[in-house]
Amino acid sequence: MKLRGADQLIGVLKKKATLDDVKDVVKLNGSEMQRGMMRKASFTQGYQTGTTKRSIKLTFEDGGFTARVGPTTDYSWYLEKGTRFMAAQPFVGPAFYPQRTKFINDMKRLMK
């Protein structure tokens, strides 16, 4: 098997973006998503102590190529999706979907 053009591809990738740039994009978007999720975790129905908002953590995995953001309270899923006794008060989804679009655009910009 022979691969032609690999040297040119590697050269273009080295010019366009480094892995540090990718890590910076992941870090920036992870922190923005954490802030957005915390902003949206202000619940209007029922009893609110702020525990869920304070439990939203940002962690990095895979050497900085993965950002994991989310609440750590056991009951946060019930707040997000609701129950038969309680209406949903989503805060994860509304923070995630706009950030996903921004992250994809940032990664595309790195490759231009």
What is the value of pTM for the model shown? 0.78
Cα angle for residues 92, 93, 99 (degrees, 5° grid): 95
Helices and strands (H, E) in the chain, number of each type: 5, 2
* Interacting residues of 77 by C-beta distance below 8 A, sequence separation 6+: none
Distance CA 8, CA 20 (A): 21
Q: Cα separation of 29 and 95, whole Å?
A: 11
More reliable by pLDDT, 47 or 96: 96
Does residue 59 or residue 47 have the better pLDDT?
A: 59
The residue ranges of every structural domain in the chain are 18-111
